[in-house]
Amino acid sequence: AQKITQTQPGMFVQEKEAVTLDCTYDTSDPSYGLFWYKQPSSGEMIFLIYQGSYDQQNATEGRYSLNFQKARKSANLVISASQLGDSAMYFCAMREVSRGGYQKVTFGTGTKLQVIP
Amino acid sequence: NAGVMQNPRHLVRRRGQEARLRCSPMKGHSHVYWYRQLPEEGLKFMVYLQKENIIDESGMPKERFSAEFPKEGPSILRIQQVVRGDSAAYFCASSPRRTEETQYFGPGTRLLVL
């Protein structure tokens, strides 16, 4: 089974609207974390937001919020008030603790978001 | 505080040549991770190193690929006798501790094999 699943290869959103990018995960580890990264056309990986499995509240960072539903094993990214500069690939990732006690990160296949003026 | 640095940013090699990719972690970070991103795909873990030690190389191809993180200097990912299928973006990430939650990524090296 895929550890991280992003079912939307591409999404369009109108400028100033909100958009939700889906991410589901699979783990049996009680302690894990979920990340979202943005990859613009220039190629770098930009960290956006992090949610720990024991965090009580959903993470928020400016216009980004993470809709964490633990029972459903989903960690959707919500971008509010979309801007043209939000057009990019977005990757969901999960960290788990390996047997060696270090963090191992698995990435999804990404969602390409295009913001329409 | 400088971020993770990778060089070169772009590398072109002909089939059969060697590629050397360098990664300087953030100051104070002694844990380095290498990932590969094939075209139109997500990042895939390759190898995790601490200073002078390879901790986990389960994601690295058994042949032609090697990695090191010496006591002094950057971490090096070496690909010998490159083939067209090695064309990809190679990202390095670093963290200050083994148990650190967040890995900080470099800008990547884009390798093109002709």
Q: How far apart are CA B33 and CA B66, in angstroms?
A: 13
Would you say residue A71 has pLDDT above 60?
Answer: yes
Strand pairing of A10-14 and B31-37? unpaired
- Count CA within 13 A, CB hemisphere, residue B110: 8
Tell me: the pLDDT tens digits for B22-81?
A: 999 999 899 999 999 998 888 999 999 998 899 999 999 999 999 999 999 999 999 999
Type of residue at B35 = Y
Q: How confident is the model at residue B99 (pLDDT cuts 50, 70, 90)?
A: low
Rg value, chain B, Cα: 13
Answer whether B109's CB lies under 8 Å from B34's CB.
Answer: no
Strand partners, A25: A4
Predicted confidence (pLDDT) at residue A38 exceeds the cutoff of 80: yes
Beta-bridge partners for B91: B35
**pLDDT score of B24:** 96
Per-residue pLDDT averaged across A49-61, rounded?
A: 92
Which residues in chain A have Cβ-Cβ distances shorter than 8 Å to B35? Answer: 107
Closest chain B residue by Cα to residue A105: B45
DSSP state of B97: S
Q: Does A24 touch chain B (CB under 8 A)?
A: no
A8 close to B (CB below 8 A) = no
Task: Kindly list the distances between the CA atom of residue B70 and the CA atoms of A34, B26, B56, in Å, as whole numbers in the listed order.
Answer: 31, 15, 16
Question: What residues of B are in the A interface, CB distance below 8 Å?
Answer: 31, 33, 35, 41-45, 48, 55-56, 89, 91, 93, 95, 98-105, 107-108, 110
State whether B98 and A102 contact (CB < 8 Å): yes
To the nearest 10°, report the CA torsion of B100, A58, B2, B27. -10
Burial class (CB in 10 A: 0-12, 13-18, 19+), B59: middle
CB hemisphere CA count around A116 (13 angstroms): 5
Size of interface A-B (CB pairs under 8 A): 61
DSSP string covering chain B: ----EEE-SEEEE-TT--EEEEEEPPTT--EEEEEEE-TTS-EEEEEEEETTEEEE-TTS-SSSEEEE--SSS-EEEEE-S--GGG-EEEEEEEESSTT-SPPEE---EEEEE-
Is pLDDT above 70 for A5?
yes
Whether residue A1 is predicted with pLDDT greater than 90 in this model: the reply is: no
CB B18 within 8 A of CB B80: yes
Rounded mean pLDDT, B11-32: 95
Work out the mean pLDDT of chain A and round it to a whole number.
93
Mutate to test the interface with A, among B29, B69, B101 (most CBs of A within 10 A): B101
Residue of A5, A44, A89 for testing the chain B interface, max B β-carbons within 10 Å: A44
- Contact: B42, A109; criterion CB under 8 Å: yes
The predicted model gives A2-26 an average pLDDT of 95
- The number of residues in chain A equals 117
Q: Return the DSSP state at B103.
A: P
Task: Place A6 in a pLDDT band, splitting at 50, 70 and 90.
Answer: very high
Is it the case that residue B1 has pLDDT exceeding 80?
no
Distance from CA of B82 to the nearest CA of A (A): 22
